[in-house]
Structure formats: structure tokens, C-alpha cells
């Protein structure tokens, strides 16, 4: 029943059949789908980047300090570099006069020279007297307090010794990590390559005056892909089987996300297009919304079918595609949302047998479902604060149950 076109593997549907006009006879569990993806999601190979671009990348190989930090003894604070022994006995009532010496030459006996924190200690100096402990005039420094040897000095290697382990492989590098690498003069680092994602918008054009479905998918998925460390390689419009097949089979991507035409309607040919050129491993997942999602592969490239309904597309992206991207990129595969644990205030209903992403809002600190009663779909979902995942084995959560809410937030911008 696959139709007119040849496909070198015809394993359509979780049960292996073309589901168009018949419906899914069977669906894979979310756990099975995630397991299939995880088994394929080996961390991508490393690439070299300049250390100044480190923030947000995942380190592929460990970095040890190649030099000491600081590389030499330096002033730890602003003040007068001097010989500590020459300040013994100094006080407000017994000031000691030192000669003011300009910076840049070895310190003469009986002299002090102003230094800024972070600058090298002049040769001969062994302490830095804070400016507040001296009175300065044109040629002399009147010292009104004693300092011990080493005071105000940051010793060579005090922060870090050459050879010290700095970052392990897998470190998600922070802005301040990039600053340290620059300080140590590290020019280039090895990081996990970012997964290249092709977005194939296969959904139908709506009736006259309404939007193309892909117009909703694109602005939603691009920031999510970026959030998960993916790099969009190309965006392809492919509204029928042949163009979808070509878009999926073309080289250049690590992951292909096909949105739309995943269901059981007459024109839902995206699964067939995958089977034409590769393997459709799973079609139909016991997930709501998103039950027509599918997973497959063309050679080493993972292909995900994301349903055309925007909220179902979001759900399948969050629970399947995002996880794949995070794993490929060497990141924590778990959902990246902030979470809040709270008590259910109004019953959350979920169909047994389906893992469900239930839109919820927090009302006076308690969790309430949003959605079906308010018309459902994307328009209800924008009123939610986040979602609660209900496993397939449960029918929902009764009031009083403590649940974890994954909070929606604005995507980051760059």
C-alpha cells in the first residue's frame, strides 16, 4: 500500500505499514523512541576554534595551564612598591620618608614607586603599601604605616601553576573561562563540533488567506535549535514526496528535521519520503501532542519527523530533537528548562498509554492545566507558564500532588 513510488525500505509505521487513510495500528513508546535516538547520538568530532570564541562551546579535549599565573611577581593592589624593611616603625606619629621614584627602573634603596594592581613588581621591591598608608608630595612618600614582606604582592604562580588541570573534556565553557584562556595566552582550543541541522519544511500551504505551516515552524525552531547548540545548515521548502526525499538525502547535515505531513492524511508523504532514501525506524510515538512524530536515518544522518501542528511540533522537538542535538554537541541531554516543583491545584488529566506534555500555569504557586477547556492548541499554550510531563502509565495528577514544572522562557538572542 505504499503507493506508486519505489522505496528501497518500506518499513513505514511502527508496524511497518503505510498509515495513510488507515491510522496508526501501533505506536512506539516515548522511551523506545528516546532510546533509539540516544543509541545513534555519539558526540560529534572536535574542531579547533579561537579561544576568544570559547563561551558557550563544549570542550573536546582537556586543557592544562601551560604557564604560571601570574607569570611573575606583581602588585596585588594599587600602592607604593617598596622594601618592607624600610617601613619598620612607621606610623602616623613617626612617619618615614622615602624618595618618590618614577616607575620603570629597579627600585633604589630608600625609594618607593607607585604601581597599579596587576603590574610587575619593580626589581628590589618586596611589598606594596596601599596609597592610603602614605602621603605623597612632589618628591617624597611619607609612609605612615609598616608593611610586612609580601604584603600587597601577588606571587608568581599564586593563582595557577603550569601543568595544573584547568578544564576537563565536556566542560560547557563560560564567559569567564574564555577570559582565563585569553589571560594565559591560549590561542586555539578543541571543542565539540556543533551539530549541523537541516530544516525541511514539508507542511501544506493553508487555504487562501492563511499561513503556510512552515511559516510557523521556522521562527519557533530556529531559536530552539540555537539554544541546543545546533547550527542551521539550510532551510528547505519541500511540499511533496520527491522534494522531501531530495532534501533529506542531500549531504551536509548531521540531523534533518522534517516538519509537517507526518500524519495519516492522504498527503502525509513525509514518512514515505524517508523510507524512499533511508530507514524509517519509528513512525507514530505514544506522545501527546505529537503522536505522528517519527524517527529514521539516511546513512549516518538522523532524520526526525516533527508533526505539522505547531504545538505538536514543539512537543516533539523538545522531547526528541532537542535531546539529540544536545547529545551530539556533548551537552547535558536533559531538558534545559528551568524547573519549579509545585503542588497541583487543579487536576491534570492525561490519556493513559501516552506520555503527555501538559501545558500548565502557576496560579498562586499552584499548578493548573491550560488548554483543552480554553480551545486547545498553540493559542492556549501561549497562556501557559510551562509544561508538566505525565508518563504514559499515569492518567494525570490529582490536586495536591507535587510535580515538576518545566518553565517556558524567552529564547536567548545574539
Minimum CB separation of residue 321 from a second copy in Å reads 13
Q: Which one among 3, 119, 242, 353 touches a second copy, defined by CB under 8 A?
A: 119
C-alpha cell of 210?
492563511
66 binds a second copy (CB under 8 A): no
Q: Which one among 5, 21, 31, 163 touches a second copy, defined by CB under 8 A?
A: 21
> Which helix (H) or strand (E) segment is 136 a member of?
strand 134-136
Q: Which stretch binds a second copy (CB under 8 A): 84-92, 309-317, 360-368, 397-405?
A: 309-317
Residue pair 84/151 in contact (Cβ under 8 Å)? The answer is: yes
385 binds a second copy (CB under 8 A): no
Q: How far apart are CA 179 and CA 181, in angstroms?
A: 5
Closest C-alpha to 63, from 180, 155, 157, 229: 180
Q: Which one among 46, 95, 150, 265 touches a second copy, defined by CB under 8 A?
A: 265
Residues 6+ apart with CB under 8 A from 373: none
Each residue 25-44 as x (binds a second copy by CB under 8 A) or -, in order, gives: x-------------------
168 binds a second copy (CB under 8 A): no
Each residue 78-117 as x (binds a second copy by CB under 8 A) or -, in order, gives: xx-----------------------x----------xxxx
Residue pair 199/232 in contact (Cβ under 8 Å)? The answer is: yes
Please say which residue, 205 or 400, places its beta carbon nearer to a second copy: 205
DSSP state, residue 51: G
Closest C-alpha to 129, from 118, 140, 143, 119: 143
Please say which residue, 18 or 126, places its beta carbon nearer to a second copy: 18
Please name every residue paired with 328 in a beta bridge, in sequence order, or none if there are none: none
Q: Which one among 267, 279, 368, 395 touches a second copy, defined by CB under 8 A?
A: 267
- Decide the pairing of beta strands 196-201 and 255-259: parallel
Q: Which one among 43, 49, 97, 222 touches a second copy, defined by CB under 8 A?
A: 222
Q: Which stretch binds a second copy (CB under 8 A): 87-95, 151-159, 343-351, 362-370?
A: 151-159
Q: Return the HEC string of 211-256.
A: CEHHHHHHHHHHHHHHHCCCEEEEEEECCCHHHHHHHHHCCCCCEE
Q: Which one among 153, 178, 293, 370 touches a second copy, defined by CB under 8 A?
A: 178
Q: Which one among 16, 40, 43, 71 touches a second copy, defined by CB under 8 A?
A: 71
Q: Which stretch binds a second copy (CB under 8 A): 9-17, 35-43, 64-72, 243-251?
A: 64-72
Q: Which stretch binds a second copy (CB under 8 A): 71-79, 144-152, 344-352, 361-369?
A: 71-79
Minimum CB separation of residue 20 from a second copy in Å reads 8
Instruction: Please give the residues from 394 up to 413 whose contact with a second copy meets the rule CB under 8 A.
Output: 408-413
Minimum CB separation of residue 393 from a second copy in Å reads 22
369 binds a second copy (CB under 8 A): no
207 binds a second copy (CB under 8 A): yes
Q: Which one among 179, 335, 349, 404 touches a second copy, defined by CB under 8 A?
A: 179
Residue pair 325/306 in contact (Cβ under 8 Å)? The answer is: no
CA distances from 301 to 75, 197, 363 (A): 55, 10, 43
130 binds a second copy (CB under 8 A): yes
340 binds a second copy (CB under 8 A): no
Q: How far apart are CA 349 and CA 342, in angstroms?
A: 17
Backbone angles phi, psi at 205, to 5 degrees: -75, 135
Please say which residue, 291 or 392, places its beta carbon nearer to a second copy: 291
Closest C-alpha to 296, from 256, 251, 252: 256
Residues 6+ apart with CB under 8 A from 261: 202, 203, 204, 239, 244, 267, 268, 269, 270, 308
Residues 6+ apart with CB under 8 A from 137: 100
Interface with a second copy (CB under 8 A), residue total 100
Query: Chain-centre distance of CA 50, in angstroms?
Result: 19
Amino acid at each position: 500500500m505504499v503507493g506508486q513510488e519505489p522505496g528501497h525500505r518500506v518499513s513505514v509505521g511502527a508496524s511497518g505499514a503505510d498509515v495513510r487513510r488507515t491510522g496508526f495500528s501501533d505506536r512506539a513508546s516515548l522511551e523506545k523512541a528516546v532510546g533509539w535516538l540516544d543509541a545513534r547520538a555519539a558526540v560529534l568530532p572536535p574542531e579547533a576554534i579561537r579561544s576568544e570564541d570559547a563561551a558557550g562551546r563544549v570542550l573536546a579535549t582537556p586543557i592544562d595551564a601551560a604557564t604560571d599565573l601570574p607569570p611573575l611577581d606583581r602588585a596585588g593592589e594599587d600602592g607604593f612598591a617598596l622594601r618592607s624593611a624600610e617601613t619598620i616603625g612607621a606610623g602616623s606619629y613617626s612617619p618615614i620618608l622615602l624618595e618618590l621614584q618614577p616607575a620603570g627602573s629597579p627600585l633604589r634603596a630608600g625609594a618607593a614607586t607607585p604601581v597599579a594592581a596587576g603590574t610587575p613588581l619593580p626589581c628590589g621591591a618586596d611589598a606594596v603599601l596601599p596609597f592610603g598608608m602614605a602621603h605623597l608630595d612632589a618628591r617624597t612618600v611619607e609612609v605612615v604605616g609598616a608593611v610586612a614582606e609580601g604584603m600587597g604582592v601577588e606571587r608568581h604562580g599564586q593563582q595557577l601553576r603550569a601543568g595544573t588541570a584547568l578544564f576537563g573534556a565536556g566542560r560547557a565553557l563560560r564567559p569567564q573561562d574564555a577570559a582565563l584562556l585569553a589571560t594565559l595566552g591560549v590561542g586555539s582550543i578543541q571543542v565539540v563540533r556543533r551539530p549541523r541541522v537541516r530544516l525541511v519544511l514539508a507542511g501544506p500551504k493553508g487555504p487562501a488567506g492563511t499561513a503556510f505551516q512552515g511559516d510557523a515552524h521556522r521562527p519557533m525552531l530556529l531559536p530552539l535549535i540555537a539554544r541546543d547548540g545546533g547550527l542551521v545548515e539550510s532551510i528547505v521548502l519541500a511540499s511533496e514526496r520527491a522534494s522531501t526525499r531530495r532534501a533529506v538525502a542531500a549531504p551536509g547535515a548531521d540531523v534533518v528535521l522534517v516538519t509537517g505531513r507526518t500524519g495519516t492524511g492522504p498527503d502525509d508523504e513525509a514518512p514515505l519520503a524517508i523510507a524512499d532514501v533511508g530507514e524509517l525506524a519509528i513512525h507514530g510515538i505514544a506522545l501527546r501532542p505529537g503522536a505522528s512524530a517519527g524517527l529514521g536515518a539516511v546513512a549516518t544522518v538522523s532524520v526526525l519527523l516533527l508533526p505539522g501542528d505547531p504545538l505538536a511540533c514543539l512537543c516533539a522537538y523538545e522531547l526528541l530533537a532537542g535531546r539529540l542535538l544536545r547529545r551530539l554537541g556533548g551537552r547535558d541531554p536533559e531538558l534545559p528548562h528551568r524547573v519549579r516543583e509545585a503542588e497541583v491545584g487543579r487536576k491534570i488529566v492525561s490519556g493513559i498509554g501516552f506520555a503527555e506534555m501538559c501545558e500548565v500555569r502557576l496560579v498562586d504557586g499552584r499548578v493548573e492545566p491550560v488548554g483543552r477547556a480554553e480551545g486547545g492548541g498553540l493559542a492556549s499554550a501561549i497562556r501557559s507558564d510551562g509544561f508538566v510531563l505525565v508518563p504514559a502509565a499515569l492518567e494525570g495528577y490529582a490536586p495536591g500532588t507535587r510535580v515538576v514544572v518545566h518553565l517556558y522562557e524567552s529564547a536567548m538572542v545574539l
